Amino acid sequence: MRVCVPVCAKSFADLREACARASEVADVVELRLDCVQGDWTTWATQLEPLIRDQSRLLILTFRPSEQGGHRVLSRPEREAFWNGDWRSNSKAFFDIEADLVIDGCDWSRVIVSHHDFNGVPEDLELIYQRLAATPAHAVKIAVQANEITDCIRIFRLLDRARNHGRNLIAIAMGDAGVATRILGPARGSFLTYGSLEAESATAPGQVNARQLRSVYHIDDINDATMICGLMGLPVMHSVSPHLHNAAFAAESVNGVYLPLEVRNVESFIKRMVHPQTRELDWNLRGLSVTAPHKSSVMDLLDWIEPEAQEIGAVNTIVVEREKLRGYNTDVQGLIEPLRKRVGSLNGLSVAVIGAGGAACAAVWALKKEQAKVALFARTRPKVEALASKYDLTFEPVQDASFRDYDVVINTTPVGSAELVGRTLAVAEQLAGARLVYDLIYNPIETEFLKQARAAGCETLGGLEMLVAQARLQFERWTGKTPSSTLMYDAGLAVLRP
């Protein structure tokens, strides 16, 4: 298994330091020489010792800006660089763009590459065929995935290359293509790319190299690996992969959990998920479903448990034989940590802030527990339908007092990482409430919870709910019950400041 870490630095001194750090986690280090500033014609005396001193296999890249590089380079400049005297003493691989032909090139060290940052070209297969016909040691094709279904063509190319014994690096760039970066090597990709740091990614959707190994356990993925994932938009911020992949490792299950950015849910389910129609041969076992697909996915399933049907939302899909089965673990995930804190909910007065999907699940669960529920929201029209459905009272949250409530639950995204520092209720409003519960898990302590602490209330964060619902999902997919503590610690390690 080869994980290649690209390093991009403005000077050779910085490049050398970055190479040292990359070598700690990489099998291969790519030197993005187009990042280095200055006159490249004077580089030989610095480039040769840098290459000679590296302990890892190297790939050298000198990419022009129109193909994703950091320099404006003419064709004659690129040809002159690759024909430099330094090349004859180098044992590195050379990543050379497909439009460039180098006289006297040692093809055994060439990776011939094609990049498309706009999308997947119609003639992708012809491009591969043309590159594969060269004597190059390996072919590299990297295209932008605008939809997750763009990954299908990349995986097909890998299957084709593996069947013909051709070295191929095939990647769908962007968040929608992350599956090709994680699963690619197990499907025959010559290597995959991982960034040295999150902020140093050299291409869209590049996953941190350490996480490829510590979170996704990329070296252990094979054709038999059970695949699960989180479908939604967006998903790359989620800590769910950390929870589930830690559970796979602890339970000795050959499985991996992926972030799957899905825009068109119908196309994704049909072409990549449903066993009767999917175009991809992969061992997909189950999916977590998050916004905005919890309701829209329901029409695409073969069976839905009655509770999820009644709530109107599915957050868990199990692939069982030739069918897709839908469940909702959010309800139990929400109630379980709450019950641990306050005991029975029967007769307790609970204020629910919000009117979206999470509020619907919360109200349904609380009513089932025979709690006395009241709704609070920012806007009237949205909350009216939920209040009418469950015969509840509702009030504007702006002027509300929660003094007489046993529990106050925030089901809105206000205060999350995208809206950090904001809150729908302040200490004066929350004073007197027994417990304040925020379903947001990132950040660990939201402004809502800070205000609750200032008011002297007990607090409960969303990570406990995330863990509870994730544990139930894992049980559905594997039949095993992972440790809640292990999953919580895996999430906390990511979220802790």
In CATH, what number is assigned to the domain containing residue 105?
3.20.20.70
Identify which of 351, 350, 342, 376 has the alpha carbon closest to the alpha carbon of residue 458.
Answer: 342
| Identity of the amino acid at 238 | S
- Name the band, by pLDDT with cuts 50, 70 and 90, for residue 419: confident
Check residue 496 and give its pLDDT: 86
Report yes or no: 440 and 411 within 8 Å, Cβ to Cβ.
Answer: no
Check residue 417 and give its pLDDT: 80
Check residue 232 and give its pLDDT: 96
Segment 388-401 mean pLDDT: 91
Identify which of 433, 450, 448, 489 has the alpha carbon closest to the alpha carbon of residue 466.
Answer: 489
Report yes or no: 98 and 84 within 8 Å, Cβ to Cβ.
Answer: no
In CATH, what number is assigned to the domain containing residue 236?
3.40.50.10860
Report yes or no: 361 and 368 within 8 Å, Cβ to Cβ.
Answer: no
Report yes or no: 222 and 193 within 8 Å, Cβ to Cβ.
Answer: no
Segment 373-384 mean pLDDT: 88
Do both 413 and 337 map to the same domain? yes
Helices (H), 219-371: 240-250, 265-268, 306-311, 330-342, 357-368
- Name the band, by pLDDT with cuts 50, 70 and 90, for residue 378: confident
Domain-embedded: residue 488: no
Identify which of 292, 293, 318, 296 has the alpha carbon closest to the alpha carbon of residue 305.
Answer: 318
Identify which of 105, 104, 162 has the alpha carbon closest to the alpha carbon of residue 132.
Answer: 162
DSSP label at residue 196: S
Identify which of 9, 43, 48, 68 has the alpha carbon closest to the alpha carbon of residue 20.
Answer: 9
Domain-embedded: residue 255: yes
pLDDT at 385 over 90: no
Domain-embedded: residue 467: no
Q: Mean of the per-residue pLDDT values for the chain?
A: 94
- Residue 389 catalytic? no
For residue 104, count other CB atoms closer than 10 A to its CB.
7
Segment 83-101 mean pLDDT: 84
| Identity of the amino acid at 378 | R
Rg (CA), the chain: 26
Check residue 24 and give its pLDDT: 94
- Rounded distance between C-alpha atoms, residue 44 and residue 381, angstroms: 69
Q: Beta strand pairing status for 372-377 and 394-396? A: parallel
Bond prior to 413 in cis (omega within 30° of 0) = no
Check residue 264 and give its pLDDT: 97
Q: What is the pLDDT of residues 145-171, one digit of tens each?
A: 999 999 999 999 999 999 999 999 999
Q: What is the pLDDT of residues 435-463, one digit of tens each?
A: 999 999 999 999 999 999 999 999 999 99
Count of domains observed in the chain: 3
Burial class (CB in 10 A: 0-12, 13-18, 19+), 340: exposed
Do both 216 and 237 map to the same domain? no
Q: What is the pLDDT of residues 57-89, one digit of tens each?
A: 999 999 999 888 999 999 999 999 988 877 776
First to last CA, the chain: 32
Domain-embedded: residue 490: no
Check residue 485 and give its pLDDT: 97
Do both 261 and 371 map to the same domain? no
Which of 188, 221, 254 is where one domain is finished? 221
Provide the whole-model pTM. Answer: 0.94
Domain-embedded: residue 254: yes
Identify which of 194, 247, 251 has the alpha carbon closest to the alpha carbon of residue 219.
Answer: 194
User: Which contiguous run of DSSP H or E holds residue 17?
Assistant: helix 12-22
Please name every residue paired with 232 in a beta bridge, in sequence order, or none if there are none. 261
pLDDT at 103 over 70: no
Domain-embedded: residue 260: yes
Give the domain extent around 251: 232-328
Segment 246-266 mean pLDDT: 98
Check residue 366 and give its pLDDT: 97
For residue 80, what are its two tokens? 């002159």
Check residue 91 and give its pLDDT: 82
Helix (DSSP H) and strand (DSSP E) numbers for the chain: 17, 21
Report yes or no: 81 and 64 within 8 Å, Cβ to Cβ.
Answer: no
Do both 336 and 315 map to the same domain? no
Do both 67 and 187 map to the same domain? yes
Domain-embedded: residue 483: no
Q: Beta strand pairing status for 207-208 and 93-97? A: unpaired
Do both 86 and 155 map to the same domain? yes
Do both 316 and 368 map to the same domain? no
Which of 200, 221, 242 is where one domain is finished? 221
Domain-embedded: residue 478: no
Segment 364-369 mean pLDDT: 96
Do both 119 and 10 map to the same domain? yes
Report yes or no: 96 and 110 within 8 Å, Cβ to Cβ.
Answer: yes
Residue of 140, 294, 340, 450 with catalytic role: 294
Check residue 426 and give its pLDDT: 97
Do both 171 and 38 map to the same domain? yes
Do both 168 and 36 map to the same domain? yes
Do both 313 and 412 map to the same domain? no
Do both 294 and 350 map to the same domain? no
Which of 157, 191, 221 is where one domain is finished? 221
Identify which of 240, 254, 224, 334 has the alpha carbon closest to the alpha carbon of residue 288.
Answer: 240
pLDDT at 213 over 80: yes
CA dist 371 → 197, 214, 222, 461 (Å): 47, 42, 48, 20
**Longest distance between any two alpha carbons in the chain, whole Å:** 83
In CATH, what number is assigned to the domain containing residue 352?
3.40.50.720
